[in-house]
Amino acid sequence: MLELGHKLWPASRRHRVKQSVRRLLRDRADPSLKVSRCGVQVNAVVENLPAEIRLHILSLLDLQGLGNFVRASPVLYEQFRIARRSLLLSCLQESLGCVTADAYAVARAKAIPAARRSPASEYRKAVESLLSGSPPYLSSAEPPRAAAAEDLDQAAVREMATFYFRVQRLSERYVDWALERLAAQARPHDPTTSPGFQRRLSSTERTRIVRGMYRFHLFCELFGTVRGYQWDAYGLEVDIIKVFFLRYQPWEIEEILCVAGFVQATYDRLFNEIYWDVHPCNPKFPYPIPPAEGSFDFDHTPDRTSYLEGTVGRGLECLDEVFFAVHDHQRLVRALQDRIRPSCLGIGESVIGLPGQCSVRETSVSERDRMETRRVPLPFRGDAEDARDGLRPPLAWTLLWHDTYSNVYGDLIPARMRNGGYIFWDASRMRETGMDREALRLFVPSDGGVPDPRWPEESDSDSDLEPLQRG
Please tell me the distance from the alpha carbon of residue 162 to that of residue 467, in angstroms, as a whole number. 44
Spatial distance between the Cα atoms of 210 and 382, rounded to a whole number of angstroms: 19
pLDDT of residue 370: 92
Q: What is the pLDDT of residue 323?
A: 85
- State the pLDDT at residue 462: 38
Q: Is the per-residue pLDDT at 304 higher than 60?
A: yes
Q: Percent of the chain at pLDDT above 70?
A: 72
Q: Tens digit of pLDDT for each residue in 125-172?
A: 888 888 886 544 333 445 555 446 778 889 999 999 999 999 999 999
29, pLDDT greater than 70:
no
Q: What is the pLDDT of residue 4?
A: 44
In this prediction, residue 19 has a pLDDT band, given cuts at 50, 70 and 90, of low
pTM of the model: 0.85
More confident residue, 118 or 137: 118
Query: For the residues 354-369, what does the mean pLDDT come to?
Result: 84
Residue-wise pLDDT tens digits, 207-232:
999 999 999 999 999 888 777 655 55
Span 325-356, pLDDT tens digits: 778 899 999 999 999 988 765 565 556 777 77
Give the pLDDT band of residue 119 (cuts 50, 70, 90): confident
| Mean pLDDT calculated for residue range 421-437 | 87
In the prediction, which pLDDT does 467 show?
33
**Which of 26-30, 104-108, 459-463 shows the lowest per-residue confidence on average (mean pLDDT)?**
459-463
Asked if pLDDT for residue 371 goes beyond 90, the answer is yes
| Mean pLDDT of the chain, nearest integer | 79
- pLDDT at residue number 463: 39
How far is 99 from 39, CA to CA, in rounded Å? Answer: 32
**pLDDT over 50 at 457, yes or no:** no
pLDDT at residue 387 tops 70: no
269 vs 352: which has the higher pLDDT: 269
Q: Where are the domains of the chain?
A: 4-82, 99-136+155-466
